[in-house]
Amino acid sequence: MNKRDKARNKFQGISPENPCPSQQTQIPLEFSGTYFDGMSSRAHPVTIVFDGEFLNIHADKTTPVITVSLDECVFKEPLGITRRSISLPDGALCETYDGCAVEALERLKGANKGMNIVHILESNWITVAAGIAGLVLFIWGFTVYAIPYLAEKAAYSMPVELTDSINDKTLDMLDDRFVAPSELSEEKAAAIHALFLNITNEDTGFDYRLELRKGHTLGANAFALPAGTIVITDELVELAQNDREIAGVIVHELAHVRMRHGLRSIFQNAGVFLLVSVLAGDVTSITSTAATFPTFIIESGYSRDFERQADAAAGAYCIREGWTTKPYEDILMHLSENSQGKSGPSWLSSHPDIQERIRLIQELDNKPSQTGDNPGNIDRH
Amino acid sequence: MDSFTCSDCGFSTNDATSYSQEFLCPRCGGTMEESSSPLERTPVNRDLPLNAGSVGRPGPQRIRTAFIGAGSEYFRIWIINLFLTIITLGIYGAWAKVRNRKYLYANTLIAAQPFDYLADPLAILKGNLIIAAGFIIYLLTQAYNPVYTGAVVILFYLVLPFLVYKSLRFLAHNSSFRNIRFHFYGTLSQSYKIYVLIPLLIPFTLGLITPYWAYRRKKYFFENMAFGTTPATFSGRAGFFYKVYAKALLLILAVVFGAGIFAAVLIPAAHKAFIAGQQFSPGIGFITSMVLIYLFMILGGTLIQQYIHARLTNYCWNESRIGQVKFRSSLKARNLFWIQFTNILAMIFSLGLLIPWAKIRKSRYVFDNMMVIATRGFDEFTAETEPEITALGDSATDFFDLEIGL
């Protein structure tokens, strides 16, 4: 214990290491303090004597005693070992460092029961350690289970009109700012549309549409919009060695649509933002830079999960078609090589660790039993 | 009866019976001296309801301010309140906020007397709920249509001056010293002028008006504060702000230049490492250089921020007075920078657990370097009545992390 703490404890007598001597209230109870009348800032050193019913506040022997009944006093809640305040009628206030005396009066009156519990929790290192453990557990449960679960529920309960609207607005935004009309030959475009129709054939869950665009700064890229529109850039089509590779990308994007990854990530990111701002909310400017870091880590974890799920769907599709996962691995490799030395957003940027992705996809080849029809069931851990 | 006063924090007591030997200050551990000290609070033999006025010795007294909060104690309070906030899904947050702030106030002393924070948690809870609703609307519009998001953002900037105004009123009204509340007398129209009109002029003046804007924001705070019925006066001038910002601009140029060189060296190096050796996972070089650049930006950003903060805070306090009370603030930019930078690192590497320690450390430095000069003590201020003020502004400014006033 340092000098500062030692001195504080000696004076207060109410720290956890050094609790008040007696639980019994002695009457008369006498303690010293400072009186403020509420009209002026003047501090009056006083002695307070409690006679069992009234607090008698004495300044010195020549002045009249101020008498206040215990019922009229409002005890402000205890906080650490800071001075205790007693609000008196007409805005007057008594402050004292004699925590034990105030504790005794409080007990008599039955005041501040709730805040006294908080105070006891705060005063004890064991409860504080339990609080840290509880916090860690809660944050972990919240980010791993609650936020993804709630975001999923919210995404699936979004009205169709809303997803349609987001879909169209996003496509407009892409057209306005990033992409240009496709420059692919008509035969090539027709072939890809046929491929797309073939893949989406049996699925009527969404209003699937394929849009081909020139990517420009976005390069070889593909996007899934929430209502079922898939955008593929010319550059990606040119990068693919055959239709099977493009099929893999299409299935990947369709999996994002089917599992509503777009909406879910909007809701998840909002959840993380709320969580981080509640956690760091109390501290303002210092943490604003630092708080972006955990947010970033959690959010990229979520998007990795989504990529993994979509990869699993694409791999499973390739296996069902009897191609093994090779075409899909090939297109990932092409994309990875293609994006080197280029800045700007890439199809891979949400998951830079391409080796790890390919390894996971290869595992699918060895476990054909897991290639079920519902990619949503694939474990994300 | 004898009176004893602490030479460090100004705490005084007339009860020395149990401290015959080794009489240390019970609040800060400093040395207690007999009341002949110039820091003496009030003479002990004083008639209670008599008129005030005749205080100790004539002439200005230099009174040190002190912050005596303890990191370990505040850590316990902070953790428990954070825990309660999280398990109540944020509802208890209003109570937690009041409790945290009360602790910091109660440990800030001028001549041994602490400050108090009097806000009603229910008022803050109401404000929090309104802000949460606003945030949900913002998110929905963001998902639905970015055009509406723009409208919400514009609406927010139109409401902002109102929030700043309300927040300053709420903060002042709920801060008290010696059982006298503070007040904020700034007007709503001033707030709109400062937070809407002047920022709109920034593009047209090529940013040259920015120091003036900072000046007006500080002035709005310092000029309109009052302690009880005694208004504050502020004699600061915009010229000083221009000087500080000009120096800060030079610092910014140096930092940006440095970051540019840093990035130009690091990113190609990371790429080379990626292409050359497959033993590297491709992410590692990239992530390392990002982290290094991030660190550099924190370093440079903190330096400039703390330079401006130290110079302007000192200036504004030194140019302010409340009645006969004057202030002397002597913060050093390099000390503040060091404290802030190590605080940020400590918070990052402790995953936030050292936030309370960091706050205590900074408050200690700020108040260790603050001096109050009072000619006639603190006994003559009088209270004024003011109706209760809602907390909307208070939580809004905290939530959106706005730097206002201090």
Q: Smallest Cβ distance to A352: which of B99, B282, B399?
A: B282
Interface contact flag, A8 B113, Cβ < 8 Å:
no
Q: How far is B358 from chain A (nearest CA, A)?
A: 9
A vs B: CB pairs below 8 A:
230
B12-13 and B4-6 beta bridge pairing: antiparallel
Q: How far is A78 from chain B (nearest CA, A)?
A: 10
Q: What is the DSSP string of B262-288?
A: HHHHHHHHHHHHHHH-TTS-HHHHHHH
* CATH 1.20.1070 for domain B1-50: no
Interface contact flag, A118 B93, Cβ < 8 Å:
no
d(CA A128, CA B80): 6
Interface contact flag, B178 A42, Cβ < 8 Å:
yes
Q: Smallest Cβ distance to A284: which of B45, B348, B401?
A: B401
Amino acid at position A199, single letter:
I
CA angle A239, A203, A208 (to 5 degrees): 55
Contact A233, A253 (CB under 8 A): no
Domain ranges of chain A: 3-123, 150-377
Interface contact flag, B143 A263, Cβ < 8 Å:
yes
Query: Which residue in B has a C-alpha nearest to residue A266's C-alpha?
Result: B143
Interface contact flag, B83 A40, Cβ < 8 Å:
no
Which tokens sit at B64? 């040190």
Interface of B with A in 285-314 (CB under 8 A): 286, 298, 301, 305
Query: Which residue in A has a C-alpha nearest to residue B337's C-alpha?
Result: A286
d(CA B340, CA A286): 8
Fold topology of A3-123: PH-domain like (2.30.29)
Asked if the C-beta of A65 comes within 8 angstroms of chain B's C-beta atoms, the answer is no
Helices A243-258, A261-280: axis angle to 10 degrees equals: 50
CA distances from A310 to A16, A248, A249, A373 (A): 55, 10, 9, 13
Query: Which residue in A has a C-alpha nearest to residue B99's C-alpha?
Result: A79
The DSSP 8-state label assigned to residue B196 in this structure reads I
So what's the ipTM on this one?
A: 0.73
Q: Which residues contact B6 (CB under 8 A, 6 or more apart)?
A: B12, B25, B27, B28, B30, B31, B32, B33, B39, B112
pLDDT tens digits in sequence order for chain A, 381 residues long = 444 454 455 444 445 555 676 666 677 888 888 999 888 888 888 999 998 888 889 887 777 788 888 889 999 988 888 888 999 988 899 998 888 888 888 888 888 888 888 988 888 899 999 999 999 999 899 888 998 999 889 888 888 777 888 888 888 888 888 888 888 888 888 999 888 888 887 777 788 888 999 888 778 888 888 888 889 989 888 888 888 888 888 888 888 888 888 888 888 888 887 787 777 664 444 345 555 666 777 777 788 888 888 888 888 888 888 888 888 888 888 887 776 644 444 454 555 567 778 888 888 887 755 444 444 333 333
Domain ranges of chain B: 1-50
Q: How far is B63 from chain A (nearest CA, A)?
A: 16
pLDDT digits (tens, 9 = 90+) for B187-225: 999 999 999 999 899 889 888 999 999 999 999 999 999
Question: Nearest CA to A250 among A288, A291, A333, A194?
Answer: A194
Q: How far is A184 from chain B (nearest CA, A)?
A: 31
Q: Smallest Cβ distance to B24: which of A7, A165, A280?
A: A7
Q: Smallest Cβ distance to B228: which of A41, A44, A134?
A: A41
Q: Which residues contact B368 (CB under 8 A, 6 or more apart)?
A: B64, B66, B67
